[in-house]
Amino acid sequence: MPRTEFISVGFHVPERVMTNDDLTQWWETSDEWIRERTGIEQRHWVEPGQEAGSDLALEATRKALAAADMDASELDCIIYATLSPDYFFPGGGVFLQRKLGIKGIPALDIRNQCTGFIYGLSIADAWIRTGQYRRVLLVGSEVHSTGMDFRPEGRDVSVLFGDGAGAAILGPTEDDGRGVLSTHLFADGRYAEKLWCESDASARFPRISHEDLDAGRHYALMEGREVFKHAVVRMPQSVRTALEANELSLEDVDLLIAHQANLRINEMVGRQLGLSEERVYNNIQRYGNTTAATIPIAVTEAVEKGLLNRGDLLLLTAFGSGFTWASAAVRW
């Protein structure tokens, strides 16, 4: 049975850069306050009304296709991970498909938020291993900026997020020892309301009301300390699970890329695992939290910078809303 390899990767972020100082026009904050708590220095936001998540995904996909010397017509299916779809329905995958100028292939949207890319990787890996599809486009794309809570009470959450997209083209490899070694997915719905968006929602009637709008229930709500507490436990656990499943050790890891939610979380994860800074790649400083896009953006940068090379052992891990968490071991 073949393994799944990353044929190519690509990413795209909007041109508009928002520094921490830029955010002081809306919130009582400062560059020092944001850096100290999150590590973020800037993020990219779309021009409102001019770019959607599927537009960012299109540019990321084009770069991945160019890197693979492939045409979009060679793709067999699309897996599109996002928490910020262009519209309530249909999903973003069909809009990306249309913009790529292809038709007929399936487009699957998944809503696993911060863990979306690894959840999607697990699905793609199963399809490729069984021979159902040979060329899978896996995308994580987010536009957070058009849904920010610009009220004072929205500061702590809103300063975290940026817009961007990352794409990977996946396919089978018979190269023994290479490719996706394993993926590991977890969830605990007891904590669903610790990081969520309550309205508008079919669980409510009406789905959204003036009261909901006044209360800000249509914005993301997070109990930051609770998220932090679980993230710094669950991500190291998931990394160890992946290593144990493949009879590997932390000494074998060439590079760890974790979901970019907060630099302080990732620094603590690295310390708990005993990995040096050189073996943990972070770029949240420049992009903020782009949710499902953080991992493919970081993977692409690591490849471009020569930090991830053929034969390297790459560990991916993520934690987020749900709570969900996940990991993957990849022999690049």
**Lowest-pLDDT range, 104-113, 131-140, 217-226, 285-294?**
217-226
Predicted model pTM: 0.97
Q: Which of 14, 330, 23 is nearest to 175 (CA)?
A: 330
Q: How far apart are CA 69 and CA 90, in angstroms?
A: 30
Distances (CA, A) of 137 to 70, 72, 240, 290, 300: 12, 9, 28, 19, 15
pLDDT at 175: 87
User: Pick the catalytic residue: 12, 259, 262, 282?
Assistant: 259
The pLDDT, as a whole number, for residue 23 is 96
Structure tokens at 279: 């073996």
Which domains does the chain carry?
3-173 (3.40.47.10), 179-331 (3.40.47.10)
Residue % of the chain over a pLDDT of 90: 91
What's the pLDDT at 142?
98
What residue type is assigned to position 251 of the chain? E
- Of 259, 257, 261, nearest in space to 228 by CA: 261
Per-residue confidence (pLDDT) for residue 219, from 0 to 100: 87
- Tell me how far apart the alpha carbons of residues 298 and 266 are, in angstroms, rounded to a whole number: 13
Q: Please answer whether residues 272 and 264 qualify as being in contact, where contact means their C-beta atoms are separated by less than 8 angstroms.
A: no
Sign of CA dihedral 319, 289, 166, 116: positive
> With 90 as the cut, is the pLDDT of residue 176 above it?
no
Q: What are phi and psi of 125, to 5 degrees?
A: -60, -45
Which residues on adjacent β-strands are paired with residue 328? 183, 316
Q: Could you say which of 12, 114, 230, 262 is catalytic?
A: 114
Q: What is the per-residue DSSP string for 131-181?
A: TS-S-EEEEEEE--GGG---SGGGHHHHTTB--EEEEEEEEEE-STT-EEE
pLDDT of residue 331: 98
Amino acid of residue 270: G
| Beta-carbon count within 10 A of 51 CB | 20
**Rounded mean pLDDT of 264-284?**
97
Our answer to whether residue 20 is catalytic in this structure is no
Q: Which of 332, 326, 6 is nearest to 183 (CA)?
A: 326
Q: By percentage, how much of the chain surpasses pLDDT 70?
A: 100
d(CA 9, CA 186): 25
Size of the chain in residues: 332
pLDDT above 90 (res 315):
yes
Q: Which of 112, 282, 283, 289 is catalytic?
A: 289
Residue-wise pLDDT tens digits, 73-98 = 999 999 999 999 999 999 999 999 99
Q: Is 210 a catalytic residue?
A: no
Instruction: State the average pLDDT over residues 68-72.
Output: 98
> pLDDT per residue over 119-169, tens digit each?
999 999 999 999 999 999 999 999 999 999 999 988 999 999 999 999 999
pLDDT (0 to 100) of residue 34: 96
Model pLDDT, residue 177:
83
Q: Determine the Cα–Cα distance for residues 256 and 236; give it in Å rounded to an integer.
A: 11
Confidence of residue 204 (pLDDT cuts 50, 70, 90): confident
Structure tokens at 21: 């100082």
Task: Compute the average pLDDT of residues 298-315.
Answer: 97
Q: Which pLDDT does position 77 carry in this prediction? A: 98
Average pLDDT over residues 193-220: 90
SS3 category, 237: helix
- 77 catalytic? Reply is no
- Mean pLDDT over each residue of the chain, to the nearest integer: 96
| Angle CA 278–284–285, to nearest 5 | 90
Closest CA to 159 of 146, 150, 168: 150
Mean pLDDT on 234-263: 98
Written as six digits, the tokens of 298 are: 């970081």
Q: pLDDT of 6-59, one tens digit each? A: 999 999 999 999 999 999 999 999 999 999 999 999 999 999 889 999 999 999
State the Cα–Cα distance between residues 328 and 243, nearest whole angstrom: 9
